[in-house]
Every structure is written in structure tokens, then in C-alpha cells.
Structure 1
Amino acid sequence: MVWLGPLLLLPNLFLASHVGAAVDLTLLADLRLVEPRRFFLTCVSGEAGPGRGADAWAPPLLLEKDDRIVRTPRPAQPPHLVRNGSRRITLRGFSQPSDLVGVFSCVGGAGRTRVLYVHNSPGAHLLPDKVTHTVNKGDTAVLAALVHKEKQTDVIWKSNGSYFYTLDWHEAQDGRFLLQLPNVQPPSSGIYSATYLEASPLGSAFFRLIVRGCGAGRWGPDCTKECPGCLHGGVCHDLDGECVCPPGFTGTRCEQACREGRFGQSCQEQCPGTSGCRGLTFCLPDPYGCSCGSGWRGHQCQEACTPGHFGADCRLQCQCQNGGTCDRFSGCVCPSGWHGMHCEKSALSDRGDGDASAKMQVTDQGHPGGASASQGAPAC
């Protein structure tokens, strides 16, 4: 592992803009399809236009590839866009695997929020432990490049396309190369990569690091305001204090679970195909980043949660009481007469309890920051 001091980087070009309330914008990457021509990216907006009808006068979505950092040869045939109104757009028709590697973005919403996705080659020499790492200001960020195809050469780390650090190949620990960044600050955010020396950049592990502008549990211009305590891996936005909920959860504090296969701020969207959200990566506005859908994990989001775990990337652990059972999509399912996050509340104890936000619900419509141990370790 390498330990680096505080970072001073060039101005970061890869932070999402954010104006006002959280924008309902999702970038979906379909990892189920290994053939480049069948692979697709879809940008979905839940934002309604100001005029009559859902799409009236809504600004059009943009879906594009950003070659400023991860440069790949231009595809023989440019992929084509398919638009369904102003609230959904799909990019498909890639000609070869190298066309897919790199940074893609979806732009939408009144404030033109930009949602980013970094695609790694499944056959790369090195793979990221997580595509997105979201941390708080002042935290220690640890990026782990997993050895997929071993080469006995040094590993070059880059930040936003520029040389950053070199690790000797002997420094791999348990099949991974670690980059540890203490006391990270917002300018440290950006695209990081780990590549074997003299190997093709297409074989790199690409990461995105998001550093919230405040410490854990805080938000606001001076970071003096307290976050609401986002549940189920939701992330507190450092500018407005709102919870950006993981795919599959909704509510002011992300307290409600959508029904299986649903996503969006109001659970209004449904995963395509008969496999539900299996094999899909979901990217949401910063500071959330990207993850598998609720109930799934792994590099291609095709592995079901192990028993006792649930939520996006299966990061959450059930601690069900009073006969409750763990559902990998929503958490504890309580027997009659009990409710709450862990089925810890009975009908009798609930009398006079006005805190409806702590009750677990499943609704059709309906990570980093201060949750309990069973909810993972959110950045706020």
C-alpha cells in the first residue's frame, strides 16, 4: 500500500453541476450484454417539463462520451442515439470492446446536472474494487486495483490522465494494488487509473473519486448544518442537505424501499427485460456516484446478495428482530404486529410515535453520512 500526503491537483473537470433540489436523473449501463453492438447506455429523467404533458418544454437529455482523459480510437461506426421523448435517451451500436472503455455522461434537468459513468473492460489486466468511491472532506480514500491478469511489471497510477505514482509489482497485497489518499479535499475528486507499465491503457482499472465538500454528517456553505441521517446507503448532498437515495429506495431519508425492479426518486421507473435490475449499473447525481441496483453486487452486477445482506451492491446488513426475515431488495420483512427498520417496534410501542420516517415501507410510488451499523457507513 502507498500512503500519499494531501493532494493538490489541477482543477477538476468531472464534478456534476447541482442547482437547487436533487435532480431525478439516472444513467443505466447494461452489463449483461457482452457483445459491443448489443451493449447500451440509457439516460432516464424523472423530471417533468413545465408545460402540459410530461415532456412539454423539458430540456432535451444529452448522452455522450468524454475523451478528455480516457482516449480510445474513434469507432469505425459511431454509436447511434435512440430518443423516447425528452425523458429517455439510449446510446447503442458500439463496434468493438475498445469503444466502450472510458467516461460517459448524461446531462439533464433544469440545472443541467451531469451524471458520470466510467466503463472498464471486463478483460482488463486490472479491475477496480468499486467504480465509484464517495468520501467526505478530510477522509482517507483507498482505491484498490484488483489483479485480473497478472504481469510482473510496475503499476502506474494516474489522476485525471496525469502521472501520479508508481508501485512496484512486488507491492501487491492479496492480489490488489492499493492507493491510499489521506485527508482528501474536493479538488482531489476525479478519474483515477491503475495500469501495468507498458501495457495498453484499455487494460487499466478506472475509478471515479467523489469528495463531498463537507465532513461526515455536515452540509452547507460553511458545513455547519447537520445532515438528516440518510438511510440505506443514501448520501447527503453537501450543498443542500438532501439525501440522494440509492437505486431501489425513496423518501426524504431514503427510508422506503421500492418494489423489486423499480428505481427513480418516486420508484416510477422499471428495469428493462425479464431479469429485473440484474446486470445493470446505476449512476446517480453526485455525490452518490454509481452502484449495482438493490439486491445485486459484483463487477457486472450479476451476483445476488448473500443471505443477510441487501440493498445496492449488497452493502447493507439485516439485523432483523422478532421473527423478521431479510429480503435482499428491501431489508427486514416483519411479521404481523411488528415494524421498523429491524422489526423492533410493536403496535403497542408505536402508539404516540410520530416518527414515520423510521418505519420500513415498500412502495410502488413511493453511503457516505450517519446511518446505523446495519445500514452501512454512509458519507452522510
Structure 2
Amino acid sequence: MMQSIFQTIVLFVLFAQKESFVYGEVVHLVGFSINYRNPDMQERVEYQCYRSLVDSDATLEFGRYISTRSNETELPSSVSHSKNQDDLQVVKFRGAMKDQAYGVFFCRGTKADRDPTSVLSFFIRSDAKLIPVADAFTRTVSIGEGAVEIAMTVVRPPEQPGAITQWRFNGSEPVESQNNRTTYRIDRPVTVEDDGIYEVYYEGERDQAKGGFFRLIVRACPPNRWGPPDCQGICDKCYNGGVCDDKSGMCICPNGFMGPNCLTSKQASRGHDL
């Protein structure tokens, strides 16, 4: 069976260099990755980005969230097409480009009357040495929560016996306080500044593309509330593991689900293969 990861994310992604937005209606996007696990061993490797019908005129941009290797090249050109009323663009990794299908990528949608939206996707090589525990690439917490841990599983040892692990946050310099750990610990209450991508690898091996990535989403409101800074909005019920977005009050759906309350299976709604 084809392995895939599905994300419905209608929220703002905090990049390493943050942007200032006036919060309002967002661009509605869906990200869908084909063969995100072991892309170097697969025949078909794609990152698809769907625009909703109401935002079919939004402009899409693909990019690499974090650069880990000096020889990383530009992404392949994306192709755009519609099928069964789906308006999408696809980045296809083929041939030598499959070596570039590693790490964290984003699809960003922009439109004049809406706030920008980005959806993220993870690609993990077959020879990865560290991967997220239980294949959970994302966790959502609310501001003020404490004792947050990001745990990785060791799949393979380092090339040099005794080499320590190093962590980075949003591609910054190594966080020395987290050296030689497979779990990144935030012992204080979390803030929105902790929102982002956490990366771990063995010292001296970052450019081998065999490290692990994890995304921590920090809501700027208490649980079941939205609309910072006052957070007076009450979240609707999000099913199947969906999370209420703190900026819009809409449900952020987990892998495989979509719709206002995350009740619709994306695979069932598509009804076709691309």
C-alpha cells in the first residue's frame, strides 16, 4: 500500500525569520505527501498542495523550511493541474532529485484579501539514524504548558563511536544545553517563541541527511480558546485528533482528515489517484 502523510493545516507557520500578519481569514490549503518515508527507495515521490475552491486563485510557493546540506539544490519545478475539481500543484522528485527529498518542506499560499498560510511536510530517508518516537512528527500544545519533551528514537549508531547528538531549533546554531540527548526538554512553561522545527543529528553528520525532525506548534491561547490576546473565542469541537487553531478558531485536522470539524476522510473524498 502506498505510504502517504496528509495534513490539513490552516494556521500561520512561524519561520526562523518571523513575519508580521494582521490576523483575519486565511488561505485554505491541504498538503499531501506521497512516499514521504524512504523517498530515496521509492519510484514515486511527490509533495502536493491543494487549494480550496474558495481560494483557487491563490498563489502557491514551494520551498525548503531548513537547509541542512551545502549541496542542496533548488526544488524541482512544480506542475499545476486540476482533476475532479481539485486545484493543485505538485513537486515531483525524480531521478537524481530524489536525493533532495529529505527534511522539511513548505507550501505557502498567498492571496490579496487573506492572510498567508503554509502547510509543512516531512521526508525521511530509508537510512535515517534518528526518527520521531512513534512516527509522530507534530505535537500541539497551548501557551503556558510545562515539561514539554520532543523524543527521538535511535535507529542507527553514529559513524564515530561515542559521537554525541546535537539539536537545532529552526535551523539555528546547535543548542548546547541539549547536547548528547535523544529528547529535547523544555522545562519552563512554553511560549509562542518555542513554536517551530526541532532537528537532531549526530555531531559531524548533519550534511548526511540522516537526522530527525519534529514540529512543535504552540497555541497562543489556553486550551479550547482562540483569538489572542484576549482569547475570548470558544473553540468548536474538532474530531479525530483535530486541534483548534488559536488565530482563526478553525480545526487543524490530522493526517487523513479534513472539513470544518475533521470528520471527512481526504482519501474518501478524492475518489481518484493522481
User: TM-score if structure 1 supplies the norm length?
Assistant: 0.55
CA distance in 2, matches of 1:108, 1:98: 26
Cα distance change on mapping 1:199 and 1:70 into 2, 3 Å: closer
Equivalences, count: 242
Greater RCO structure (CA 8 Å; 6+ sep): 2
* Residues 134-213 of structure 1: pairs in structure 2 closer than 5 A: 134-140=140-146, 141-151=148-158, 152-161=162-171, 162-165=173-176, 177-182=182-187, 183-201=189-207, 202-213=209-220
> CA separation in 2, counterparts of 1:71 and 1:180?
26
Residue 217 of structure 1 and its aligned partner are, at CA, apart by 1.7
SS of corresponding position for 1:61: strand
Aligned to 2:17: 13
Do the aligned residues in 2 keep the contact of 1:145 with 1:178 (CA within 8 Å)?
A: yes
Please state if 1:70 is matched with 2:68.
yes
Q: CA deviation at 1:147?
A: 0.2
What is the CA-CA distance between 1:138 and the residue it aligns to? 1.4
Once the two structures are TM-superposed, the CA of residue 153 in structure 1 deviates from its matched residue by 2.1
- 1:126 is matched with 130
CA drift of 1:45 comes to 1.3
Structure 1 pair 42/17, CA: closer, same or farther in 2 (3 Å)? farther
Any stretches of 5+ residues in structure 2 without a counterpart? 1-13
Residue 230 (structure 1) aligns with: 238
Match of 1:3 in 2: none
Give the Cα separation in 2 of the matches to 1:230 and 1:213: 18
Write the deviation string for residues 130-150 of structure 1: whole angstroms up to 9, x where unpaired. Answer: 222221111232111110102
Matched, 1:108 2:109: yes
8 Å Cα contact 2:165/2:200 also seen in 1? yes
* One-letter amino acid of the counterpart of residue 144, structure 1: A
Q: Deviations over 1:248-279 (max 9, x none)?
A: 4455433x344x723xxxx4x34636xxxxxx
Distance apart, 1:98 and its partner CA: 3.7
Q: Which residue of 1 aligns with 2:223?
A: 216
What is aligned with 1:363?
none
Q: Which residue of 2 aligns with 1:81?
A: 78
TM score, norm. by length of structure 2: 0.74
Q: Distance in 1 between matches of 2:179 and 2:244?
A: 38
Cα distance change, pair 249–191 in 1 and its aligned pair in 2 (3 A): closer
Q: Cα distance 1:61–1:100, how it changes in 2: closer, same or farther (>3 A)?
A: same
Taking a change above 3 Å as real, the CA distance of residues 18 and 106 of structure 1, as seen in their structure-2 partners, is: farther
Contact 2:76 2:97 in 1 (8 A): no
Distance change (3 Å), C-alpha of 1:271 and 1:62: farther
- Residue segments in structure 1 that go unaligned for 5+ positions in a row: 1-9, 50-54, 172-176, 274-380
Find the structure with the greater CA-based Rg: 1
Distance 2:149 2:105 in 1: 23
* Structure 1 residue identity aligned to 2:87: R
Alpha-carbon spacing, 1:126–1:37, altered in 2? closer, same or farther (3 Å): same
